[in-house]
Amino acid sequence: MLIPRSEYSTDTVKLTCLFQPVQLSVALMKREETFLASPEWMSIPWEQHEKTRLDRLFDIISHIPPILARTEMALSQPVTQVRQHRVQELLANCLHIEHQLDEWYNTASMVNNVPSLWEEQDMEMQIPFLSRFTFIDDISSIMFIYYWMALLRFHRCIESLRVSLYHLSYQNMYGQGIPPPNLALDEYKYQQGRELAGKICRSLDFALRGTLQPDLLVAPWTVAREYYREMSDTTGDGMLEVFWCDSFREKLVEKGQYLSQLVQGKKWTEVDGP
């Protein structure tokens, strides 16, 4: 989906931006490339429209889905020197994208020396989550939820590449899984999926209260629930989180129905065309 330069306008950009989260979510879930990563989209629409923090985040995330697809393809191949070289290239690409995400977070987490988000104890939160995130505004809640959703998928990709590269290649050369110096990783960092899924869940209530587009929360909710379901199936842990996610789904449905009834109850006036 590429829009000719002549057709870009304020309304076109605003309309396309409404569908950005959905497009990115589909791309992440299906591991597909998206037009949002094209140089045209990243530059032409913004020649007269300044990018927001959310726009800059989506620019970075848009490069992740094809990396996920190429990683899946590479790891499905027999272990050869060619495959491991490809894995090393993919890991280097991942670390470059991760560096961009780290820089974005360092910038986005503070606005005019005020934190964009903070954690609060909440007795109304259901077990297993006894605290929640509060955000400086509604759009920030959506922004950080999508950041954590992308990291949850992306870190699992990096971990699979790390395991393949270090354990299958370098243990034969050095006796242990010693990485090349330019790809040294904090192994613990990429095994924090449960923490990322928890951050998503502990942010959903705030985001749901403030949004008029509850459908934007479906993909992050789905990614978090799938993570906990997989954890439950493999380790027997995580069922409390699954139950929480199922409970939140009812809130999503209720908010969607409320907004639908609100729209249907409005009186609309047909406007003749020019």
Of the candidates 147, 144, 120, the one whose C-alpha atom is nearest the C-alpha of residue 134 is 120
HSE-CB for 167 with a 13 A CA cutoff: 7
Least confident segment among 59-73, 211-225, 256-270:
256-270
Number of structural domains, the chain?
1
**pLDDT tens-digit series, residues 168-205:** 654 444 444 455 555 667 778 898 999 999 999 999 99
Confidence of residue 274 (pLDDT cuts 50, 70, 90): very low
C-alpha 60/C-alpha 42 separation (Å) is 10
- Indicate whether 270 belongs to any domain: no
- Indicate whether 227 belongs to any domain: yes
- Indicate whether 237 belongs to any domain: yes
Tokens of 205: 């209530």
Q: Which one is predicted more confidently, 40 or 161? A: 161
The predicted pLDDT at position 2 comes to: 44
Placement of tokens 């006036």 in the chain: 269
**pLDDT tens-digit series, residues 128-164:** 888 899 999 999 999 999 999 999 999 999 999 988 8
- Indicate whether 69 belongs to any domain: yes
Residue ranges making up the domain that contains 230:
6-264
Of the candidates 28, 59, 60, the one whose C-alpha atom is nearest the C-alpha of residue 46 is 59
- Specify the pTM: 0.87
The stretches of 31-180 forming alpha helices (DSSP H) are 39-43, 53-61, 64-75, 81-108, 138-165, 171-174
Given a contact cutoff of 8 angstroms between Cβ atoms, the answer to whether 225 and 201 are in contact is no
- Indicate whether 1 belongs to any domain: no
Given a contact cutoff of 8 angstroms between Cβ atoms, the answer to whether 12 and 3 are in contact is yes
The predicted pLDDT at position 182 comes to: 58
- Indicate whether 230 belongs to any domain: yes
- Indicate whether 200 belongs to any domain: yes
- Indicate whether 92 belongs to any domain: yes
Q: Considering the chain, what percentage of its residues have pLDDT values greater than 70?
A: 82
